[in-house]
Amino acid sequence: MGKRLTTPMVRESGALREATWDEALNRAAGGFRSVVDAHGPTAFGMFSCSKTTNEVNYVAQKFARTVIGSNNIDSCNRT
């Protein structure tokens, strides 16, 4: 079985390096924001899983709708 990551990794100059959680989360948020700023909120979509809790799925759709401004949310609940 493979080893599990215990710290976040970020790509810099084509290579992965360890980062703090704050840096990794800020980069992820910055990536979301740059897409929305360049192409609008409908360029963002989220897919959630039916195997997680209703609460996690609720928070995921709430994030997409209220923070990002996108209704592009889907899950495998329909299957």
Contact by Cβ (8 Å): 49, 76: yes
Residue 79 has pLDDT above 70, yes or no: no
3-state secondary structure of 3: coil
Kindly report, residue by residue over 28-72, the tens digit of the pLDDT. Answer: 999 999 999 999 999 999 998 888 888 998 999 999 999 999 999
Q: How far is CA 42 from CA 7, 37, 79, in A?
A: 32, 11, 24
